[in-house]
Amino acid sequence: MSSVPGLYAVGMTDKQQTQRNKNQAQGEPVISLVTEGGMLAELLYDSAEGKTGFAVWRNGKCEFKNTVTVAGQAYCPYSPGNNILKHKVVLLPSDVQDYGSDDSLIREIEAFLDRYVDLSPEFKRLTCRYILLTWLHDRFNELPYLRLRGDYGTGKTRFLLVVGALCYKPIFANGASTISPLFHLLDAFKGTLILDEADFRFSDEKADMIKILNAGNVRGIPILRTMMTNKKEFDPRAFSVFGPKIIAGRGRYEDPALESRCITEETAPKKLRPDIPLNLPGDYEREALTLRNKLLMYRFRNFHTTSIDPALANPEIDNRLNQIYLPLLSVARDPLVQAEIASRQRQGQKDLAAGRCPSMDIQVLEITRHLIADRPLPLKEIADAFQVKYGETYPAVVSSRAIGSLLRTRFNLRTSKSHGNYALPVSEQAKLRQLFIRHGLISVDDASSDDDIRIIPLENGELGEADMMPTIH
């Protein structure tokens, strides 16, 4: 099982494992261990030899063991006869292999992707870093999801198979999967969910799948499931569903919060690149296994040195989007790739803004954005300009009182009297600027100074069509 010089692999046949499991002294079966002392242990599965065992990383060295003891508790590997392993529902490394430099490993992964899927260079680079993120995901508290969205026949399933084969403990499922075993799989393996046909409507089971996606990107938010003891006693259990997820579907999710968790690549029908095989060849699984073995070494080498780089946070981006993207940005390291990921983050901000507010709310903000100046802004000015631009859309005149109520209740802005009339005070301009950015009325790229929200004063009380256009790039 070993290909690292100086390491000796110890494995168990299925028969040996069965006998060992009968001996309670051998301990509890586990897939992975991370101890406070810095030890990592990962389950290896060699299907050709019918063996399982642990790769153990401690103090910069790797060794293979049949059992691991932590604080007096013994742990043993899963049996090689386990159906989850035998039927490739979850894929594991079979060994630990050296790979040279991180750059060399990245080139190998990109070459593998190139052989079997047709991706744009930018999305290929992003996908490669997401694969790396899956192997270090438990160093972070929030995670993004990687999603392909498009119609049937646009290569989504091929993408899931190829990319999933390189991820950390990939768990393959689809939207029609029975939910109960999926909860158990995610809780036990703590790997990467590879989910096809992830379009969910009108089904309790699918609603449960949505719960997995809603709770699964943040550490420490388990899902409670009703369980019964043999004596029919009510005994609810908490299942951890935290982990990376790669999903494919045809449409948007109705929940904007779930949408915001996804880094999305749109797919469309196109002619298959002539050098990409129609069917995955026999060498494909062997190549994927070799890369998983190298990626396990990547996990061992980088686990304790990987953390969030707060300098990569964009102050003009929603806190939630920063939390979601920072792990991927931190793992990427390459400045070019980081810039490409940041560009997708900014687009995610714009998409989120587009679906965040009812149209009237956005219209009022838009009008305010074009009237703001170094003075209190009377609510009547906003109401009058709103009537000029949008009055015909509404059955009744929108009064300054209604404008003030909307600004206070919808956007938490303060109004005060100025020269006998209610107005937005100058002190609210910093908050307004953040609102303009948040809702896509100021470009995140250009919103670096107060000058970005200064507009030429209105002439004759009217707004021209050009003046009313938001500066979204």
pLDDT of 144 strictly over 60: yes
pLDDT at residue number 460: 33
Same-domain check for residues 345 and 388: no
CATH number for 418? 1.10.10
Same-domain check for residues 186 and 263: yes
pLDDT at residue number 443: 60
Q: Is residue 342 assigned to a domain?
A: yes
Q: Which of 3-7, 102-106, 242-246, 422-426 has the lowest mean pLDDT?
A: 3-7
Q: Is residue 209 assigned to a domain?
A: yes
- What SS3 string covers 239-295? ECCCCCEEEEECCCCCCHHHHHCEEEEECCCCCCCCCCCCCCCCHHHHHHHHHHHHH
The domain boundary, picked from 303, 332, 354, lies at: 354
Reported as a single tens digit per residue, the pLDDT across 237-271 is 899 999 999 999 888 887 778 888 999 999 988 88
Same-domain check for residues 345 and 238: yes
Tally of domains within the chain: 3
Q: Could you give the percent of the chain with pLDDT greater than 90? A: 59
In 42-64, which positions are buried (b, 16+ CB within 10 angstroms) versus exposed (e)? bbbbbeeebbbbbbbbeeeebbb
Q: Is residue 446 assigned to a domain?
A: yes
Reported as a single tens digit per residue, the pLDDT across 63-96 is 999 999 999 999 999 999 999 999 999 999 999 9
Q: Could you give the percent of the chain with pLDDT greater than 70? A: 83
Q: How far apart are CA 142 and CA 338, in angstroms?
A: 18
Tokens of 418: 């100025």
Three-state SS at 228 = strand
CATH number for 344? 3.40.50.300
pLDDT at residue number 356: 55
| Interval 117-133 mean pLDDT | 97
Q: Is residue 427 assigned to a domain?
A: yes
Q: How far apart are CA 69 and CA 295, in angstroms?
A: 25
Q: Is residue 2 assigned to a domain?
A: no
Reported as a single tens digit per residue, the pLDDT across 13-28 is 555 555 544 544 568 9
Q: Is residue 5 assigned to a domain?
A: no
Q: Is residue 9 assigned to a domain?
A: no
pLDDT at residue number 224: 86
Same-domain check for residues 58 and 130: no
Same-domain check for residues 325 and 280: yes
Reported as a single tens digit per residue, the pLDDT across 36-54 is 999 999 999 999 999 999 9
pLDDT of 286 strictly over 80: yes
pTM, entire model:
0.74
Reported as a single tens digit per residue, the pLDDT across 145-190 is 999 998 888 899 999 999 999 999 999 998 766 788 899 999 999 9
pLDDT at residue number 313: 95
pLDDT at residue number 206: 60
pLDDT at residue number 308: 96
Q: How far apart are CA 43 and CA 53, in angstroms?
A: 6
Q: How far apart are CA 377 and CA 417, in angstroms?
A: 10
Confidence of residue 361 (pLDDT cuts 50, 70, 90): confident
Q: Is residue 467 assigned to a domain?
A: no
Tell me if 166 sits within 8 A of 288, measured CB to CB.
yes
pLDDT of 457 strictly over 50: no
Kind plus residue range of the DSSP H or E element containing 65? strand 61-65
Q: Which of 21-30, 131-140, 367-376, 429-438 has the lowest mean pLDDT?
A: 21-30
pLDDT at residue number 275: 95
Same-domain check for residues 206 and 173: yes
Reported as a single tens digit per residue, the pLDDT across 188-225 is 999 999 999 877 654 555 678 888 999 999 999 999 88
Residue 133's domain spans which residues? 102-354
